[in-house]
């Protein structure tokens, strides 16, 4: 498992990996999709990302690398995800 704590060096490590690990944590998922780490729970709540298994709400979430790679190549999904993030923050900031 890669140890990524949002440094540029670590970000490049996951992006330049010859083969991704089968399971990605939220940090790795965010890096590969181009979102912030705090956006991943928002995308999961909007049913745009599905964690592996059925983790408890407070458990760490892992995502299938093959699915994340496919989503990152899907412009339609990226548009939906970007709109979901914007909508979430618009609602949250409007309170």
Contacts of residue 89, defined as CB under 8 A and 6 or more positions apart, other chains included, come to none
Label residue 11 by pLDDT band (50, 70, 90): low
Tell me the percentage of the chain whose pLDDT exceeds 90.
73
> Average of pLDDT values for 6-32?
80
Q: Give the start-to-end residue ranges of the domains of the chain.
A: 8-94
Choose the CATH number for 8-94 among 1.10.10, 1.20.81, 1.10.1660, 1.20.120: 1.10.1660
| Average pLDDT for 13-31 | 86
Confidence (pLDDT) at 10: 66
What are the E-state strand segments in 1-95?
23-24, 63-64
| Whether this model's pTM surpasses 0.95 | no
Compare 9 and 64 and report the one with higher pLDDT: 64
């Amino acid at each position: 498992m890669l140890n990524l704590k949002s440094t540029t060096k670590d970000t490049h490590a996951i992006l330049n990996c010859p083969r991704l690990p089968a399971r990605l944590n939220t940090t790795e998922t965010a890096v590969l999709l181009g979102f912030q780490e705090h956006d991943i729970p928002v995308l999961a709540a909007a049913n745009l990302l599905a964690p592996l298994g059925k983790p408890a709400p407070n458990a760490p979430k892992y995502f299938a690398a093959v699915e994340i790679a496919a989503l990152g190549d899907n412009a339609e999904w990226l548009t939906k995800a970007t709109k979901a993030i914007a909508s979430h923050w618009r609602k949250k900031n409007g309170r």
